[in-house]
Amino acid sequence: MILSPEELQWVTGRMKIYDIKYVESYYEILDHILTAIEIKRDNGDTREISVVFQDVVDTDFGGYSGIETLAVKQENIYNKYIGAAFKAIFRGYLNWRLFVFTIVISALAYTLPDNKTMHAVFFIAIFLLAFSPMLYAFVLISRKRERVKGKRSLLKGRLMSQTYLPGMLLNGIIYLPVIFQSGDDNNAFKMMQHWPLPLLMVILIFFAVLNLSSITLCNQVLNKKGISG
């Protein structure tokens, strides 16, 4: 039996007493509670909504602490979901065709003029590939409006962290060699000017795959989950 608008309003108002930080967890738990209440109504339970609600919370969820424990479990589920989804997408691009393509394109890089201008082109392209997923995710997320006041979106925050991964890796690639250098010639960008073009081509392809994986992840998560917070 579908609850009346007044009963739905009462339930959503009552949910404010629970410390549920993220909108995804809120909707998951709310849906479970409403479903349990509707089942009781179908079975002939005509008690006041406040009584049925508390009965469901105590019996099915273990009371106040049970609700908050479930919220934490939901957060862990969503965190694992983002990480697993990204790994699956990234691995999907790693196949023999990409391997052959990388070898051929890297070999062709030997024919390019090895000068500062060409190095600059590679650096700019790699930089854009590394940081554009974060901008892409930010634009998509900004189009979504919050539906639950005071609650953040766990998936959105996790997406932003995940799309920053290529930028973090780029920083590591640039500055890690500097740690093992001593003296005055330890400027990261000066060192990169001496990197061979085939190596830069491999790095470019690697970040292109990371870029595609991150953007695919954003589209998959935001469209499939219908995030609103």
DSSP of 34-95, one letter per residue?
A: HHHHHHHHHTT--S-HHHHHHHHHHHHH-HHHHHHHHHHHHHHHHHHHHHHHHHHHHHHH-S
CA 199, 204, 205, 211 dihedral sign is: positive
pLDDT at position 201 over 90: yes
**Per-residue pLDDT, 228:** 42
pLDDT of res. 227: 44
Q: Band of the pLDDT at 174, cuts 50, 70, 90? A: confident
- 77 or 118, higher pLDDT: 118
What is the per-residue pLDDT for 16? Answer: 85
**Nearest to 213, CA basis, from 75, 84, 79, 122:** 84
Q: pLDDT tens digits, residue range 21-53?
A: 888 888 888 998 999 999 988 888 888 899 999
pLDDT in tens, 54-99: 999 998 888 888 888 888 888 888 788 888 999 999 999 999 999 9
Residues 78 and 147: their CA atoms lie apart, in Å, by 19
Q: Mean pLDDT for the chain?
A: 84
pLDDT given at position 198: 93
Q: What does the block give as tokens for 100? A: 């052959």
pTM here? Answer: 0.73
More reliable by pLDDT, 111 or 24: 111
**How far is Cα 141 from Cα 160, in angstroms, rounded to an integer?**
9
Q: Determine contact, residues 96/185, Cβ cutoff 8 Å.
A: no
